[in-house]
Amino acid sequence: MPNPEPTASAAGRSTALALASLARLSCTIAALPALIGNLAGWRRHAAAFAAGALSVLAMAPFHAWPVLFVTLPSLIWLLDGVLGHSIEGKGAWRTAVTLASLRAAAAVGWWFGFGYFVAGLYWVGAAFLVEAKTFAFLLPLAVTGLPAALALFYALAAVLALPFWRSGAYRVLALALSLSAMEYARGHAFTGFPWNVLGYALTYPVSLLQSAALFGIYGLTLIACLMLPAPLVLLAAAPAGRRRQLMALAIAVLPPLLAASAGHLRLARATPTEVPGVKLRLVQPSVPQAEKWRPENQEWIFLEHLRLSANDAAGNPDGLAGIRLLIWPEAAMPFLPLDHPPARAAIGRLLPPDTVLIAGALRAEMAPEEGQGRRFFNSLLVFGDGGRLLAHYDKVQLVPFGEYLPLQSTLEALGLEQLTRRRGGFATGPFPRPLLHLPGLPPLAALICYEAIFPTAVATGGERAGLLVNLTNDGWFGNSTGPRQHLQQARVRAVEQGLPLLRAANNGISAVIDGYGRLLVQLDLDQRGSADAALPAALPPTPYARFGDGIFALLWLAGAGVLVLAGWRRGRPSAA
């Protein structure tokens, strides 16, 4: 019988070496709070900016989310320095908040957010170079003004956390609660812009992505802001305490490991199911944005969509044989197709009798107010046999300064115009968004362009959708991180709802995504062509689909209760 003692001894030595290495590392980490917290003036702001900018590496396409194990603790230590608590391990402390410390904290939060959004949204500037003669002068304002405005949410998060600042893990909880609340506010205030919400850090790889079905992106944001900074903060607080070291190691390893394991099990149990008899084709024409809206290019762009539609993925003509659903991207036709009978006739000749075309296009109708002329919509149009219009959806969530101007008439009088150069801007469609009911297809929820980044955009009242269709034109932003971030956020919507998502882009990234967030078919940036796939079936409603952000609200309230209770207990007078 083999002797187990050598194995046990070796395991013991390995454990001891690991703990010794962790002890040395924690001693090194112990110097960081003083090093970072003692920064002042421009050095403090530069450090906050750098930490925010590095945090973007946690997002697509890098997905290096462990960087937040360092950058979020850095934000905490910078806020410690604001309050004069740059060195831990010398007994418990609580804050004495002053107006000066609130201002300093707001500055730290703002600089962190400014770095995060400058690095994460730099690609917005590319849109202003499409018509450089008209819009290039606005580029510096675009790449700094939008991040500066969004950074105000992070400044407010720092201010809200400061009154609850306590030693140890309490301030991690305080910041997690305030940051997640402000990320939620960022997604809703002033029409909302929840791009790169911090919770997206925990949506890669696909096994981790499965947790979005339970928590949604805002729930994941709270978890990320709590879990990721805690290990380093705990290690720095007690470098010589083995119990604290083990706790830090457990927090760093166990939650993501458990989430990934649960996600892996969910995927392993998944059985691929398809909607019977529905084969679809995505078309990605990859038309350069600078060429798209020139009047002389309208015909060849339309003909190119027809040509790509009639060919399979290998480029062989097949006349759409066996294709039930054909999908073109946002604004596929750079004209008003409903006002253009020859275009509708050409679509009718393209489509076999049982095939429908979903296409992005502009739509116009008479305004209800007398004397206002026609109003224009960024729409999804559904064409059937003979080019008949079967249904339409008008975009609800318009892009500020892209599809409309705030104070439209005033700013137009000053000579400004939005990037689409549509005077008067686009009109918005009805809300709540109607589902489209098409023959032979599940109820369809349409999402045009960045509507896919809004978790609540697919909520359509009592009836549940069976399919999400996202038409977009990411050609505005070139070969940058923007289209890749957009794709990842669309994947999260599919997992949140447990619904397949069909994404057709003018220039990347088109994809068929199932309810587990898996990319079944993909057309990359700058790839012109078509792709065929079966239509994945919808999954049963996920917890997020049933309860929405109520799960996030419950988690947030539970955390707030813990924070308030901890403050009350620490503030009680000692017994005589």
Residues known to be catalytic: 330, 395, 449
Q: What is the spatial distance between Cα 23 and Cα 391, in angstroms, rounded to a whole number?
A: 65
Question: What are the start-end ranges of the E strands in 174-302?
Answer: 274-284
Main-chain dihedrals φ then ψ at residue 275, nearest 5 degrees? -75, 120
Q: Is-contact 248 232, C-beta < 8 A?
A: yes
Give how far Cα 100 sits from Cα of 105, 160, 252, 350, 558, Å. 9, 14, 34, 68, 31
Taking each helix axis as running N to C, give the angle between helix 481-497 and helix 212-227, from 0 to 180 degrees, rounded to the nearest 10: 120
- Token couple for 535: 């239509």
Burial profile 171-197: b = 16 or more Cβ within 10 angstroms, e = fewer = bbbbbbbbbbbbbbebbeeeebbbbbb
Give how far Cα 71 sits from Cα of 31, 116, 128, 462, Å. 15, 11, 31, 42
478: left (phi over 0), alpha (psi -120 to 50) or beta: left
* Sheet hosting strand 444-448, strand order edge to edge: 444-448, 467-472, 501-505, 510-513, 519-523
Main-chain dihedrals φ then ψ at residue 324, nearest 5 degrees? -95, -30
C-alpha 426: how far from its chain's center?
Answer: 24
Task: Please list the alpha-helical segments (H only) found in 269-385.
Answer: 289-292, 298-309, 341-350
91: left (phi over 0), alpha (psi -120 to 50) or beta: left
Q: Is-contact 429 447, C-beta < 8 A?
A: no
Residue bearing tokens 């457990």: 250
Other Cβ atoms less than 10 A from the Cβ of 567: the count is 15
**DSSP state, residue 409:** H
Give how far Cα 150 sits from Cα of 120, 135, 153, 419, 436, Å. 12, 22, 6, 20, 34
CB contact set of 391 (below 8 Å; sequence gap of 6+): 381, 382, 436, 437, 438
Secondary structure (3-state) at 389: strand
Q: What is the spatial distance between Cα 292 and Cα 272, in angstroms, rounded to a whole number?
A: 38
Q: Is-contact 511 489, C-beta < 8 A?
A: no
The CA-based angle 390-444-321, given to 5 degrees, is 65
